[in-house]
């Protein structure tokens, strides 16, 4: 790197005698201050796009999980009554989903209805099974 770096624009203008800065305006309040109000308006004016933070993602929905549990509980309640707690879990998750603002109400209502129906079927199986036991 034996070569010297080329002069900057400011250095070339100073050599030519024309400086980029205007002459300071002398007032009583602003002694020795440059008139840079126009430059500040240009740099910090209305053309700057304000920062808008990104919209946060909503938390994951519980409604599809409640519906899936309710469907599994209903399908199993046709054959076994011992999965009554699964319908209770599906009903609890459906009620939790109904209480959340961003979850689908339609899916949550379906999940609640199906889980209650599976609870009725499971309870029916258990009542029938216990009535068949010898006394």
Domain parsing of the chain, residue ranges: 63-131
- The C-alpha atoms of residue 39 and residue 8 are separated, in whole angstroms, by 21
Question: With a threshold of 0.85, does the pTM exceed it?
Answer: no
The string of pLDDT tens digits covering residues 5-61 is 777 777 777 777 654 555 555 555 556 656 665 555 555 555 666 778 899 988 899
Work out the average pLDDT over 76-87: 91
Looking at residue 49, its pLDDT comes to 65
Residue 60 · residue 96 · CB < 8 Å: no
Which residue, 27, 7, 24, 23, is CA-closest to 15?
7
């Amino acid at each position: 790197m034996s070569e010297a770096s080329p002069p900057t624009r400011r250095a070339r203008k100073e050599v030519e005698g024309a400086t980029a800065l205007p002459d300071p305006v002398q007032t009583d309040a602003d002694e020795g201050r440059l008139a840079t109000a126009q430059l500040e308006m240009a740099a910090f004016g209305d053309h700057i796009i304000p920062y808008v933070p990104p919209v946060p993602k909503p938390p994951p929905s519980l409604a599809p999980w409640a519906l899936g549990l309710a469907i599994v509980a209903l399908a199993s309640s046709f054959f076994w009554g011992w999965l009554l707690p699964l319908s209770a879990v599906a009903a609890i998750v459906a009620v939790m989903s109904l209480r959340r603002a961003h979850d689908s109400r339609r899916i949550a209502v379906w999940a609640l209805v199906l889980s209650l129906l599976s609870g009725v079927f499971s309870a029916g199986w258990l009542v029938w099974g216990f009535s068949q036991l010898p006394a």
